[in-house]
Amino acid sequence: MTTRRYLEDFAVGQVFGSDSYAVTVDNIKEFAGQWDPQFFHVDEVEAEDSFFQGLAASGWHTACITMRLLVTGELRPAGGMIGAGVEELRWFRPVRPGDVLKVRAEVVDTRAMRSKPGYGIVRMRVETQDHLGETVQTFTTPLVVRGRGD
Amino acid sequence: MTTRRYLEDFAVGQVFGSDSYAVTVDNIKEFAGQWDPQFFHVDEVEAEDSFFQGLAASGWHTACITMRLLVTGELRPAGGMIGAGVEELRWFRPVRPGDVLKVRAEVVDTRAMRSKPGYGIVRMRVETQDHLGETVQTFTTPLVVRGRGD
């Protein structure tokens, strides 16, 4: 919980892990009811006759689970986890009740920010996997990370 | 509510609007408590001394608000709104309490899917604006849309 990583502590190839998150019928429906209220995310019976052929988590639910696992996981940049955006978010298969997700985040690039002295960008490739190790989602995100400022 | 658009009904340049969503201190904290529990999203006082210099909504909150506004808005593709992914999601400024967001979605490309006969891809550029018309977030998403299947 305590160690925070500054810009200078990141290097290409480092990998950070996370806890896990169990996807259930109830949390699929609760999330979707708020943010993605479509029949294939909120009704098991109607979902059978949908593109997903059964209840599926909203892709944004998977993205939010991923963010939660990143924030509570091993990465812990100094100043907090601040994404400037998201590049190429892809969903590979529907996430279903019973899936248990975890996240693997790998540093793919680091650089100083010219526009904001004292800060840098750490680009992370973030992979969300199920309990069998199958990838369900990937994205790359440039994180804004504080330098040590010695 | 009733008209659903099939692949053949979409054309480049069409624009679809949405209702609006009022961002508040309470809904910023509630969302972040679940999905992005960082001090600058859950505590107004501590947030003053952060990168954001005040309470700011999680970027994923803005993304989820956007999805809700898309689902409940004018777009309404047949079979539901099914994104294959998200390209180049960018956050332009922190979203704050008092912001009222709406969404503008423009068709930038349509094509049949070779891998899934009867379906096509409608690429949408999705812009989330505040009550002053300033853009707070953009992304492009390829939607999987059912053909009319005559």
The C-alpha of B13 sits at a distance from chain A's nearest C-alpha, in angstroms, of 23
Q: Do A34 and B91 touch (CB under 8 A)?
A: no
Which of chain B's residues have a Cβ under 8 Å away from the Cβ of A63? 60, 63
Phi, psi of A130, deg, nearest 5: -90, -175
Give φ, ψ of B142 to 5 degrees: -85, 110
- Tell me the one-letter amino acid at A65: I
Q: Which of B39, B40, B89 shows the shortest C-beta gap to A89?
A: B89
Please say if the pLDDT value at position B45 is more than 60: yes
User: Which residue from A95, A136, A38, A143 is spatially nearest to B75, judged by alpha carbons?
Assistant: A38
| Residues A148, A25: Cα–Cα separation, whole Å | 44
Boundaries of every domain in chain B:
7-146
Give B-chain residues touching A38 at CB under 8 angstroms: 71, 80-81
Closest C-alpha among B73, B92, B53 to residue A85: B92
Mean pLDDT of B4-13: 96
Cβ–Cβ contact A38 with B under 8 A: yes
Nearest CA of chain B to the CA of A13: how many Å? 23
Query: What's the angle, vertex CA A93, arms to CA A99 and CA A106, rounded to 5?
Result: 80
d(CA A146, CA B124): 34
Q: Respond yes or no on whether ipTM tops 0.90.
A: yes
Total beta-carbon pairs less than 8 A apart between chain A and chain B? 93
User: For residue B22, how many other CB atoms are within 10 A of its CB?
Assistant: 12
Q: Please check the confidence at residue B44 and state whether its pLDDT lies above 80.
A: yes
Q: Measured between CA atoms, how close is A68 to chain B, in angstroms? A: 5
A71: nearest CB among B37, B84, B144: B37
For residues B77-86, give the mean pLDDT: 92
Most B-contacting residue of A35, A38, A75, A144 (CB-CB within 10 A), to test interface: A35
Is B35 in contact with A68 (CB distance < 8 Å)? yes
Nearest-angstrom CA–CA distance, B75 and B64 = 16
Q: How many residues does chain A have?
A: 150
Structure tokens at A42: 């909120």
Handedness of CA B69, B73, B79, B81 (dihedral sign): negative
**Neighboring chain A residues of B71 at a CB cutoff of 8 Å:** 36-38
For each of chain A's 150 residues, which pLDDT tens digit applies? 457 999 999 999 999 999 999 999 999 999 999 999 999 999 999 999 999 999 999 999 999 999 999 999 999 999 899 998 999 999 999 999 999 999 999 999 999 998 888 999 999 999 999 999 999 999 999 999 999 986
Domain A7-146 carries which CATH code? 3.10.129.10
Count other Cβ atoms within 10 Å, centred on residue A102. 19
User: How does residue B57 score in pLDDT terms, banded at 50, 70 and 90?
Assistant: very high
- Kindly report the nearest CA distance between residue B36 and chain A, in angstroms: 5
State the pLDDT at residue A77.
95
Mean of the per-residue pLDDT values of chain B: 95
